[in-house]
Amino acid sequence: MIEGISHITFIVKDLILATKFFNQIFNAEEVYSSGDNTFSISREKFFVIGGQWIAIMEGKSLLTRTYNHIAFKIPETEFEIYESRIRQLGVEFKPSRPRIYGEGKSLYFYDFDNHLFEIHTGTLSQRLKRYKMK
């Protein structure tokens, strides 16, 4: 039986720059750094964000950008705080898709390795309820 998501791994070209990205935007708690040791396929770091284990491993950046992404849930009252953090880091925003009122607010942005992230204020139940009303 699946208990949940164990961890999410991102391949990044620069562990220091990726650490800055996760710390500045998400207040990630760094819980491990391999240094020059490689127990896996390359040097790596582990973080915890909202109780979720996030791993970054040194490697080649993605060559292309897609809409595949991970979305982190935040309270709507903190939307501007996160938007400011992202803007201060200077990463590129992706225009949000058209939304209907009641499904939550989102910010889409890329890291330095072409991974797409989303900050989202809504929940699945809110979205399903709103879609039923249309």
Res. 127: pLDDT tops 90: no
Res. 27: pLDDT tops 70: yes
Superfamily of domain 7-133: 2,3-Dihydroxybiphenyl 1,2-Dioxygenase, domain 1 (3.10.180.10)
Whole-number pLDDT of residue 93: 93
The predicted model gives 47-55 an average pLDDT of 97
Cα-Cα-Cα-Cα dihedral sign, residues 48, 50, 52, 56? negative
CA end-to-end distance (rounded Å), the chain? 35
The predicted model gives 25-44 an average pLDDT of 92
Residue type at 45 in one-letter notation: K
Residue 112 near residue 13, CB atoms below 8 Å: yes
State the catalytic residue, choosing from 44, 78, 83, 103: 44
Specify whether 44 is catalytic: yes
All residues at 6 or more sequence positions from 91 whose CB lies less than 8 Å from its CB, including other chains: 21, 109, 110, 111, 112
pLDDT-based confidence at residue 101 (cuts at 50, 70, 90): confident
Domain boundary assignment for the chain: 7-133
Res. 134: pLDDT tops 70: no
φ, ψ of residue 87 in degrees (nearest 5): -60, -40
Residue 107: Cβ within 10 Å count: 19
pLDDT-based confidence at residue 51 (cuts at 50, 70, 90): very high
Q: Count helices and strands (H / E) in the chain.
A: 3, 8
The predicted model gives 9-23 an average pLDDT of 97
Q: Distance of CA 130 to CAs 38, 72, 117, Å?
A: 47, 20, 23
Say which residue, 98 or 55, is predicted with more confidence: 55
pLDDT-based confidence at residue 80 (cuts at 50, 70, 90): very high
